A and B are shown apart, each in its own frame.
Chain A
């Protein structure tokens, strides 16, 4: 049994990044991961660095979009954070910010794009709606059917295979202790300290950070508190390698689509196509990957027609993963009310925004005033769920 300043539960991007920030500030950190690092959402996602509002945020009308836009300061911060990340971690993470395009094919979509861009510009995001020759010059590979695109120069991609391991190694260099293959099965507070039980070991910490992705609800329950986090299953596909043809991140304002080319030459397709959660005896089984749906694979392929040059490429693999959403689509970030020393970080686009979530949460733990307001993301907004 050992005592730490902070114990982090979860070895995904958020857990490893928080551990890095805390360790380099000189605190004693333990990170506990039930499987291997980067095994779940952080290693399975699309690696998109998208800072425009996403399709899922604008598909439910302007009010919902305005609500989602409250998080745009985080987007701006993350855009800068990614640009400096490889230097800060001292290793390559495949970060390439060569611009992103959100496409519109119908007049209604063009109008939606214009409204979205106006909203984003209000928040200081440098979005430009391109049409005609300006668009074709920038992106000659787009299909005729594309009428307009919102361009944001700071968008791009990073490599999910590299990012989390890089955070983990940097954290280790600063003295953080990383323990994999240990599933936390009990979490309670006693004598002013948090007690963590995992695989027969018991350790204590002054503070605990839940960075447990879709398992956040389970961990919260161990601490007898409720955090409303919902798992969703998502689909990705990769094609065979091809010569460079797509320098940008591609999204669509009216369809589920994200598309990019990896440095190796594969085209990655995603954008929110669902996979079906597996249930066992009537309960969601989080320990099984969701089942891929035929319709998601064909639908995603159909959405790719906006870049005709990819259509002859063979798809070599599809996979599914789970990520978390909250009822208001905003992140869940900060101190858990009535549980002194317990913190949580999850929800929303926690790859793209992950480095920012982690930095702000670590600042809170270290007692500093975060430089961006976090109140809107606090678990306190769901305080009605908790009575003790």
Chain B
């Protein structure tokens, strides 16, 4: 690609698709960068070309996909990772390398054929969310997976990763994944929610609606019917205390929690299974936004750290907008409307829409958004896992950082030995937690929660690990090749 796009959209989920389609329709030249082989993101995930098992959700997203794919001016860079944003703090110049021109941002991208730098005028980040990792004894055993991961197996690859499944956590996605497993012929032993039904009142319908789209209520009800028909027990007030097995999972120890979220002694039960799918909720993938310098806010009910933005979805960094789960986990429908809003904001900055026209176009979108946000505030916050419940599962021996094998006890000891430690970054420097291949994606919530609990600091004081490029690993030879191309 010789010509640089006006806008780079990172992520091809509902937010990214809506942003790209809207931008393209109004004349912006758009390039969508996505890690997957085909657009669709987590929820509208399409099977790779050649597979013919379109899921129900993929069908639901087909209209949006078709809209984006048929929009002129939208180009796609699949199988590619945006790993760094440059020039947003100190600005770009041509001392170190040819500068791309005023107002441009530099984005490092890792593609199947090496490295490349994109130099758009605006950036829309829609990187989505990932499964909230919840550590407990045995969580690193093979066979312990995330509900999202199991869904990917089934949806994108048409594969069953095991035979006997237990699903546990606190997110309504568990029901949908359980039904998909039943449909695919798997044996689902039990679905366990940590919350009590009272917390989830007024009922399982809300629970399903919370999944992100009122339109999916029917699908959720269908999931419930499927589970009932297959006689899959659904239990509330139940958590996984530990997972067991020699080299792979063979059973889990389940226990009840009282309505305050406290583990109840004497309620333990061993259940045999070879896959445990965990779904406690989602964490916004804010690393690229944070690396770019975007300000974040702490919103425990919406997944933790979320990217701050204004009414046009613009972040604190000029030229960078966000949409979708990055702004708080709220599901596909909200992601889509935010994507459109981000596009209208960006189109104004590019001079492709005037303010009046943008406001007029945005009006109906804002109405939908206001409705979605009210709903999210009322319902979603109920699914946020209770930190005390999750924290109580962790023993000193429990590994929190899998990459560097740092145990909870190591962190407690470091905090005891260095009374001045109080931030995620400082604890990282001392213990190496968060320094590995995943750069803290799988341990940050638990490590930060532990620091806060142990030191009596607030999550805001503890912060999280600083995001640095590359936000996803990039091989040295790909970086070096980019140097030779430049």
Contacts and interface: CB of A to CB of B under 8 A. Distances in A.
Contacts of A279: 90
A297 B469 contact: yes
Interface string B398-426: 00000010000000000000101100001
A312 B90 contact: no
A43 interface: yes
A295 B476 contact: no
Interface in A280-307: 288, 290-299, 301-302, 304-305
Contact of A301 (B117, B437, B476): B476
B283 to A, nearest CB: 19
Contacts of B474: 314-315
A8 B484 CA distance: 47
B479 A315 contact: yes
A316 interface: yes
A147 interface: no
B246 interface: no
B420 A317 contact: no
19 contacts: A36-B420, A38-B429, A165-B418, A180-B420, A240-B473, A241-B436, A293-B86, A294-B84, A294-B108, A295-B483, A297-B479, A298-B486, A299-B483, A301-B480, A301-B483, A304-B480, A313-B475, A313-B476, A315-B470
Nearest to A238: B435
Contacts of A4: none
Nearest to A38: B429
A305 B480 CA distance: 8
Given A288-B89, A292-B86, A264 B432 contact: yes
Given A36-B426, A317-B439, A312 B420 contact: no
A367 B387 CA distance: 57
Given A288-B89, A311-B480, A297 B108 contact: yes
B96 A293 contact: yes
A291 B317 CA distance: 14
B89 A240 contact: no
B349 to A, nearest CB: 22
A293 B115 CA distance: 15
Nearest to A181: B420
Given A36-B420, A240-B473, A317-B439, A290 B90 contact: yes
Contact of A161 (B97, B106, B429): B429
Nearest to A43: B429
A72 interface: no
A239 interface: yes
B468 interface: yes
A111 B387 CA distance: 64
A314 B480 contact: no
B482 interface: yes
B229 to A, nearest CB: 46
A161 B428 CA distance: 10
A293 B482 CA distance: 13
Interface string B138-165: 0000000000000000000000000000
Contacts, number: 113
Interface of A: 36-39, 43, 161, 165, 180-181, 238-241, 264, 274, 276-279, 288, 290-299, 301-302, 304-305, 310-319
Given A276-B91, A294-B84, A313-B475, 14 more contacts: A274-B96, A276-B89, A276-B90, A278-B89, A288-B89, A291-B87, A292-B84, A293-B96, A295-B97, A297-B469, A298-B115, A315-B470, A315-B474, A318-B470
A314 B84 contact: no
B304 to A, nearest CB: 21
B90 A294 contact: no
B430 interface: yes
Nearest to A311: B477
Query: Which of B86, B439, B469, B476 has the largest count of A CB atoms less than 10 A from its CB?
Result: B476
Name, among A36, A181, A278, A305, the residue most crowded by chain B CB atoms within 10 Å (CB to CB). Answer: A36
A132 B364 CA distance: 74
Contact of B90 (A43, A181, A278, A305): A278
A312 B483 contact: no
* Best-surrounded residue of A238, A292, A294 (most CB of chain B within 10 A): A294
Contacts of A310: 476
A134 to B, nearest CB: 28
Contacts of B420: 36-37, 180-181
Interface string B32-58: 000000000000000000000000000
A291 B473 contact: no
B476 A239 contact: yes
Nearest to A293: B96
A304 B469 CA distance: 18
Contact of A240 (B88, B90, B97, B437): B437
Nearest to B482: A298
Contacts of B432: 264
A294 B106 contact: yes
A294 B470 contact: no
A298 B483 contact: yes
Contacts of B483: 295, 298-299, 301-302
Nearest to B437: A240
Contacts of A298: 115, 479-480, 482-483, 486
A99 B473 CA distance: 30
Contacts of A316: 436-437, 439, 470, 473
A276 B477 CA distance: 24
Contact of A312 (B87, B89, B476, B486): B476
Contacts of A277: 90
A160 B479 CA distance: 26
Contacts of A301: 476-477, 479-480, 482-483
